[in-house]
Amino acid sequence: MDPVIVGLQDRIEEYLKQLDIPVQPLSLYEPVRYMLSLGGKRMRPVLVLLANKMFDGKTETAFPAAAGIEVFHNFTLLHDDIMDNAPLRRGKPTVHEKWNADIAILSGDAMFVKSCQLMMQSPISAMPAVMNLFLKTALEVCEGQQMDMDFEKAENVSIENYLEMIRLKTAVLLGAGLGIGAAIAGAAPSEVNHLYDLAFQLQDDILDVYGDAAKFGKQVGGDILSNKKTFLLLTAINMAKGDVQADQKYWLDYSGSDTKEKVKSMTAIYDKLNVRDVAEIKMDQLYMDALAHLDALPLTINQTRSLRDLAAMLMERES
């Protein structure tokens, strides 16, 4: 990995450890510290710092916002886990499993407030741009999550609507990190907009089915068990015919207890239809669209090299 990225990961990790998180009430703040201690690659705060660095910003001024993005991201994960009834997050029990749903909801709320406080430590000159983009993104993440839940009950979901949902639910926060980092460095609004539109996210659909649970840190096959309308499932529904379509319908309607067999059988259907290949082709298209936004910036290849390396790494990640 690019040594610049590794260095920023290490620095943001240390910064997060030093955050002023109260001790009492223990049942409110202990889950916050637990959630942040679960780790991860800290890519969202790294994007804040990389974008700031690209525009020759003073990196230290971007650390509070970088931490704010990471706290907000973990808040969304905490609440998502409750709504999905997920047992694991990064290989460890989710907050609602370790404590309970009520505590998880309130601790998540505290994390959102903390993320706002951190964002407001940005330089005064950048504050309007930073807060407008952050709050716009926070609402879009909520919109994406609601769309995701609505899709669970919908009879038909188009791939176009799915891609819009995944853009709102996950990609916009990556873009916001880039835009906020650039705004703190004094980038022009048009440059901030290019960075906001740069991000993409489709990889988790594939990882949920084909990932290694030890590396992925989540219950592999969870989307299959919940009949979640992912890119893989929607593509399979569109492609399946005859016996394959009948088998798929059987497993989508399946209400038995053999969860391993359902995951195995649906994965076999995906393999037969080559839906993973279709998803990866779409990811490549989104990746090239993202790079086009990066190419539109008035920056040299050397200035954008670390971000390009990071984007390529995220395309190839296994967890």
pLDDT in tens, 14-72: 999 999 999 999 999 999 999 999 988 899 999 999 999 999 889 999 999 999 999 99
Q: pLDDT confidence of 213, banded at 50, 70, 90?
A: low
Cβ contacts of residue 42 below 8 Å, gap of 6+? 9, 12, 13, 16, 70
User: 191 near 297, Cβ under 8 Å?
Assistant: yes
Hunting for tokens 């991860």 — which residue is that? 40
Mean pLDDT of the region 94-113: 98
**Average confidence (pLDDT) over 300-315:** 84
DSSP letter (8 states) at residue 59 = G
CATH code, residues 3-316: 1.10.600.10
pLDDT tens-digit readout, 215-238: 655 567 888 988 889 899 999 999
pLDDT band at 101 (very low <50, low <70, confident <90, very high): very high
The encoded tokens of residue 288 equal: 């090239």
- Amino acid 219: pLDDT: 60
Helices (H), the chain: 3-17, 26-37, 43-54, 63-84, 95-98, 101-119, 127-153, 159-166, 172-184, 189-196, 203-210, 213-216, 222-225, 231-239, 242-253, 259-273, 275-295, 301-316
Share of the chain above pLDDT 90, in %: 67
Residue 25 per-residue DSSP state:
S
pLDDT value of position 291: 86
User: In degrees rounded to 5, what are phi and psi of residue 89?
Assistant: -140, 115
Q: Cβ distance 52 to 181 under 8 Å?
A: yes
CA angle 302, 307, 313 (to 5 degrees): 125
What mean pLDDT comes out for the span 284-306? 88
Query: How long, in residues, is the chain?
Result: 319
- Whether omega before 123 lies within 30 degrees of 0, making that bond cis, reads no
Residue 304 in contact with residue 297, Cβ under 8 Å? yes
Taking residues 203-210, what's their average pLDDT? 76
Cα torsion angle, 36, 231, 136, 127, sign = positive
Q: In the predicted model, what is the mean pLDDT of residues 76-103?
A: 94
What pLDDT does residue 222 have? 82
Taking all residues of the chain, what is their mean pLDDT, rounded to a whole number?
A: 91
The pLDDT confidence band at residue 319, using thresholds 50, 70 and 90, is very low
318, pLDDT greater than 50? no
Q: Is the pLDDT of residue 208 over 70?
A: yes
Q: Which of 88-92, 139-143, 186-190 has the lowest average pLDDT? A: 88-92
